[in-house]
A = this chain, B = another copy of it.
Amino acid sequence: MKKITIKSPATIANLVCGFDVLGLALEAPYDLMTLELQDQPGLRIEHADGFGLPTIPEENVAGAALLAMLEQVSDAPGMKLTIDKRIMPGSGLGSSAASAAGAVFAANQLLGKNFSTNDLIRFAMYGEKVASGVKHADNITPCLLGGVSLIRSILPLDVVSLDAPAMFITVVHPQIEVRTSDARQILKKEVPLKLAIKQWGNIAALVAGLMQGDHELIGRSLEDVIIEPARSILIPGFDQVKKACMEAGALGGGISGSGPSIFMLSKSHQTALEVEQVMQEIYRNIGIDFRTYVTSLNKKGITITATLS
């Protein structure tokens, strides 16, 4: 194979009560990435979008992930990576994970699939480190595997794919900036044991609800008593959006990753569309630009759209 094009999906990390350990893949939005063998050695990065992201491999999320992988490959060939980013950077929808995971997935295909999924996750985390300073896998894993992923541990890496029923996801991305580092700094380093117990009761019930296909239990478990109260103040309109979406029939939802996007899960496509209306109306009234997405759970993760042999 000389050239491969893949689709790398957006993801929602944390899933409200699963801070740092849960993530879910979306059907849309997604990035398109093409990786191509080159005669000249080294790695070249080009962008087919207008975001102005770095092209120096070490400074680029996809590049850093690829370089971590290529260190493990003897006689690595030259490659050109073209990124058509459609997941807005800084949206809280796993834009950096899509780049990092997509790049190593594509390279693994191009180089003959020698690396395991866990290897790919480890390489891709080097990209996340470039993006946010922290190695985390709660976007990368669902991006690669699809569905809902649980990251029990990073060191040693221990990830679990969770069954989940069909669900529809509505996302609103208010066009404000919340830096991941700011979102991390706002969290207290100590939490009351009482709240921690409530949180682990909720995450346990969320996992049970997902695996039992019990939408109502999923909804009741989407409660975050630790992170959301701190972080939601960084997102104008958050409380209003959440309340109105629940009234419109959403099962539940919260901050996507470290924000500013807000997501809501719904049992039906119709409800997900009504939830979108509610979100649009609120941000129109507040006067903040926004984008919305109505999509469904992506069960496949990264997919190949074209290859050239």
Interface residues of A (CB under 8 A from B): 17-22, 150-153, 158, 160, 162, 187-194, 196-209, 211-212, 217, 220-221, 226
Contacts and interface: CB of A to CB of B under 8 A. Distances in A.
A52 to B, nearest CB: 34
A187 B194 CA distance: 11
16 contacts: A20-B201, A21-B200, A21-B201, A21-B204, A150-B205, A152-B202, A153-B201, A160-B205, A160-B217, A187-B193, A191-B192, A191-B196, A204-B206, A207-B207, A208-B211, A211-B211
B193 A190 contact: yes
A189 B196 CA distance: 10
Quick one: copies of this chain in the complex? 2
A97 B7 CA distance: 54
B187 A190 contact: no
Contacts of A21: 197, 200-201, 204
Contacts of A226: 193, 196
Nearest to A20: B197
B20 A205 contact: no
A15 to B, nearest CB: 10
Given A191-B193, A193-B226, 10 more contacts: A21-B200, A152-B205, A152-B220, A158-B205, A187-B193, A190-B190, A191-B191, A200-B204, A204-B206, A207-B208
